[in-house]
Amino acid sequence: MARRRFKRRRSNSRHRVRTQTPRTAMLNLHRLGSFKYDLREILNASPMDKTAIPTVVANIIAKASRVSISETKDYIREIEQQGVVDKIAADDTCILLDRYSKWR
């Protein structure tokens, strides 16, 4: 029975140098359902307009999953200054974002 010969690896041509991009904290999408539930609980307990809750939730999830957690916290502070969300709900949301973040 003949033995198969395997090709030898070429040491220089196979190894590509990968440039490393800086990692940023983003929303952990594997826990999105529980994050969304907790976020809605925080916003429902706050004295804000109940018709604005779905819009705020969607904006927070979009920013946290695509841009970064720090940009999302800046957005939360902006809507807090506009009066959409009160201070307690904004602080709780920022803590929640830290709990559900992942470095990507």
Residue 7 belongs to some domain of the structure? no
Dihedral, 101, 52, 76, 36 alpha carbons, nearest 10: -10
* Integer Cα distance of 99 and 56 in angstroms: 19
Is position 45 within any domain? yes
For residue 27, being part of any structural domain is answered with no
In a domain, 55, yes or no: yes
- Alpha-carbon distance of 64 to 29, in angstroms, equals 10
Domain of 86 in residue numbering reads as 33-103
Q: How many domains does the chain have?
A: 1
- Give residue 5's pLDDT band: very low, low, confident or very high (50, 70, 90): confident
pLDDT of residue 46: 95
Q: What is the mean pLDDT of the chain?
A: 91
pTM reported for the whole predicted model: 0.79
